[in-house]
Amino acid sequence: MSQRRYNELWADAQLALSCLLTEELPAEPPRPEKDRVVFFQRLAMLYVRYIQIFRQLEEIYDQVVHPQKRRVIRAILDGVIGRVLELKNEMVEKEFSEYHYMDDILHDLKLTPEALEIPIPRYFISERGKELQKRTTMLTDILKMVEVTESPEPLMAKDMSQEKAIKIIQVAERARQGRLRAKLNEESRNMNRMYRTKDPGTEAIESATVCIQKVWRGFMQRKRTKIVREEEMIFLGMAMDPKFQAPSPAEVAALSSEACTKIKQEEHCEDYQKSLVSVTNQLRDVEGDDISKTMKEQIRQWFIECRDTTGSFPDYPDEEDGGSALIFAEKNPKQLLEEIAAKEEEDSNNKPKGKEEKKEKGKKEKGKDDEEEEEAGLKMLPSAFLPDLEMENKIFEDFWKNRNETRNFSQRHEVELIKEERRKIIEAEIRVKVDEQMRQELAEWKLAVDKDKGGKTKANAKKKKGSKSGKKKKKEKDLTADRTLESLCQELVEEGLLKQANDVRLHDYMGDYSYLGTTLRQNDIEPMPSLSDVRQVLSLYAVLPLGSQYVHEKAPLIKAILLAGPEGVGKKMLIHAICQETGANLFDLSPLNTAGKYPGKSGLAMMLHMVFKVARLLQPSVIWIEDAEKMFYKKVPKEEKELDPKRLKKDLPKSLKLIKGEDRVLIVGTTKDPLSADIKSLCKMYSKIILIPRPDYGSRYILWNQLIRKRGGDVTRSLDLGSLAKISDGYTPGHMVQVIQSIITKRRILQQANRPLTAAEFVAPLAKIDPVFQEEEEALKNWYAKTPLGKKRIKAATGKEEEEAPVKGKDAKKKGKK
């Protein structure tokens, strides 16, 4: 699309955003909502609408070329992301569940489930390309030095059991004998043909021709029927036309134009950065002296006016308070007079009589009662992003909405806007120097004019105040202050604590949308989340905060996440996907990985210090703890006592507390057996617990289809995916991958033309694997019900039942009276 079209899309997105802002920031605050369901519906509606704007702005930001527009769009995009995270946090607090089902809202808005998919901004990776490249080269160099990179195994005789060796010999011998029998049979057939010397009769020839015709005509008719059926399915829209399966010329042209826009973006950004430097230097040289002179004149005028009004020179504001900028922002001479008049009025009104005091107390108490009545209900939590969004929306309306860009066809930067921005920065720089000079000048004026004795005491008092405020908190001891970042990284790689993430994306974690979630909840049945819901929750809790520094600092802070689910549901894959989507480093502090490394208390402190120090310096970072339940065992098994899995139980939560908003560091734990851990200490460590279930029917159908295609298999009509998805109930994605790898080999891929894949081939290897039984899933659900959020949900559900019970009783009494 053209740049003009993207400008129109931006205007549409801003219009939708301004409508949302007027709803969320009304002139009068809305009344609290007493009905929890109505309040949640309002939140969910806002959430869906913000996601739509998020999707539009992400696409616009990725393709717009104008560097100054991109800065504004980026600020708005980050604000929208932050608001989405705030709404998600509020929905969790109001519904007491990590998963939400909005099929009724999608139906009302006439949207598909894809509209709820959280888009991952491409700028997370694209704008950090050089930094990520440097980091990967550094890690690969370290890996080469340490010889950790996977090298081909040397040709050596492997240890083999006697039974396995005998089996291999038997298979080879039977195959040899089979080949010999086949050769002998073929030779015997040829000999028999040679000895047949009788001439066939006319009847035999006719019957042979009829047989050949019958077979040929049947073959041709089946071929025609197949073609007609395929044409019918294409006509009905049930199958894709083969000509559309290959990328069309329009798609190829669109991809090439996107690549060209990326190159233009980089060129325009470089020109913009160069012009920033040149314009700043030019303004400093041309206007710097004039700005400093006008500032000095204004400040001197302020000195004289304050002297005339108050009878003494004022105290100069400190640098921490803003210096002379505070004078003109808040305290000019007129405002000083107003403040003095207001103080006099307050002094006169501070001494009311007895009756007036009683009346005022009565009014205050009434006011408090009214406020308490108003507070009885659900209110929206205060937002950290709405004021910024309102300000950026105003910038769009003032500067960009009606801007005439007929002369800027190439969408390069505008110098006048740069001058306006840089002038403010230059004024701030000059103001610091002017403040130093004017403080000295004010001190000289005071010595010359004001010869009061209290001057010294005031100065001393100020010094004392300054000394009190100057006390600093104790900082952490840097145990590795004398070491470079590269040496720390090298040591962590050698010890296996810093790893490279696998090349997996979040969209590779496939799953279908949960279509019956709202219906089940209306019937008081708690639905199990689908794999699509898990993917969305992790996008919100992990990917979006780690990808943007601004969002991470202002959004609700999530320090640790626990992924709980049976083996094979994709917990490890999700951690690697988070790292790949955000360009994060992967640290492994699993109990089995840290066993025997850095022994003793001092060694443990050093290990944690190094990991968290490197994680902060190379943020964003993900610290993975596999088998997180081992750290909080109720009772350590005998075979694991030597490994000491609970050694991080005390020190890791302490390190977790030191993570702040500016540190893009996330701890992610995975567990397949949370029942063996102490639930209180586990929930205290992990603020978010995400339950990952086995896949439902829709997710299994998608998984079979996509995994078979990915492996190189052809999904034809002979492969009944519906039946395969039905019989694989209870099996995880890991089990499916295992089965597909065993069936679809290189030889089987070559045989597909003559013998297409069937569902029966996958049944035998599936039967050899133990599925996740219903009892295991129920045990996980019961465990999750004991977590803080699960308890709240159960309490809210029982509260509703108790409310409904008396209402039913009243209705029964009324019926009885009638």
pLDDT value for 345: 64
Burial 493-520 (b: 16+ CB within 10 A, else e): bebebbbbbeebebebbbbbbbeebbee
pLDDT value for 23: 87
Asked whether the beta carbons of 563 and 574 are under 8 A apart, the reply is yes
pLDDT value for 152: 47
pLDDT tier at 395, thresholds 50, 70, 90: confident
pLDDT value for 468: 41
Per-residue tokens: 284: 């400093």
Q: What is the 3-state secondary structure (H, E, C) of 390-402?
A: HHHHHHHHHHHCC
Q: Can you tell me the distance from the alpha carbon of 285 to that of 279, in angstroms, rounded to the nearest whole number?
A: 10
Question: Is 806 a residue whose pLDDT tops 60?
Answer: no
The structure tokens 């803080």 sit at: 788
CA-closest candidate to residue 699, choices 670, 741, 740, 728: 728
pLDDT value for 350: 54
**How far is CA 145 from its chain centroid?**
34
CA-closest candidate to residue 545, choices 557, 534, 536, 533: 557
Q: Can you tell me the distance from the alpha carbon of 365 to that of 361, in angstroms, rounded to the nearest whole number?
A: 6
Would you tell me how many other CB atoms lie within 10 Å of the CB of residue 626?
Answer: 19
Question: Is 459 a residue whose pLDDT tops 50?
Answer: no
The type of residue at 278 is: S
Question: Is 594 a residue whose pLDDT tops 60?
Answer: yes
- Between 264 and 194, whose confidence is greater? 264
pLDDT digits (tens, 9 = 90+) for 460-515: 444 434 444 444 444 566 777 778 888 888 888 888 888 888 888 988 898 888 88
pLDDT value for 337: 55
pLDDT value for 471: 45
CA-closest candidate to residue 631, choices 690, 591, 680, 583: 591
- Between 591 and 362, whose confidence is greater? 591
pLDDT value for 35: 81
Q: Can you tell me the distance from the alpha carbon of 626 to that of 231, in angstroms, rounded to the nearest whole number?
A: 52
- Between 470 and 639, whose confidence is greater? 639
What are the CA-CA distances from residue 153 to residues 149, 150, 156, 157 (Å)?
12, 9, 8, 11
Q: Can you tell me the distance from the alpha carbon of 593 to that of 493, in angstroms, rounded to the nearest whole number?
A: 12
Q: What is the full DSSP assignment across 324-381? A: HHHHHHH--HHHHHHHHHHHHHHHHHT---HHHHHHHHHHHHHHHHHHHHHHSSB-PP
**pTM for the full predicted model:** 0.78
What's the mean pLDDT when you consider all of the chain?
81
pLDDT value for 313: 75
User: Mean pLDDT throughout 76-103?
Assistant: 89
Question: Is 191 a residue whose pLDDT tops 60?
Answer: yes
Asked whether the beta carbons of 541 and 556 are under 8 A apart, the reply is no
The length of the chain, given as a count of residues: 818
pLDDT digits (tens, 9 = 90+) for 505-547: 988 898 888 888 888 888 878 888 888 899 999 999 999 999 8
The type of residue at 785 is: A
User: Mean pLDDT throughout 647-661?
Assistant: 86
pLDDT value for 50: 92
Question: Is 817 a residue whose pLDDT tops 50?
Answer: no
Question: Is 375 a residue whose pLDDT tops 80?
Answer: no
pLDDT digits (tens, 9 = 90+) for 658-691: 888 888 999 999 998 888 888 888 888 898 999 9
Bond into 121 cis (ω within 30): no
Would you tell me how many other CB atoms lie within 10 Å of the CB of residue 51?
Answer: 22
Question: Is 569 a residue whose pLDDT tops 80?
Answer: yes
The type of residue at 642 is: E
Question: Is 416 a residue whose pLDDT tops 60?
Answer: yes
Q: What is the largest CA-CA distance in the chain?
A: 144
pLDDT value for 458: 44
pLDDT tier at 373, thresholds 50, 70, 90: very low
Q: Can you tell me the distance from the alpha carbon of 77 to that of 74, in angstroms, rounded to the nearest whole number?
A: 5
H or E segment and range at residue 571: helix 571-582
User: Mean pLDDT throughout 168-197?
Assistant: 83
Helix axes 67-95, 386-395, angle to 10 degrees: 150
pLDDT digits (tens, 9 = 90+) for 203-244: 888 888 999 999 999 999 999 998 999 899 888 888 888 777
Min mean pLDDT across 362-376, 505-519, 609-623 is at: 362-376
Would you tell me how many other CB atoms lie within 10 Å of the CB of residue 780?
Answer: 23
pLDDT tier at 279, thresholds 50, 70, 90: confident
CA-closest candidate to residue 80, choices 16, 35, 141, 162: 16
User: Mean pLDDT throughout 243-251?
Assistant: 78
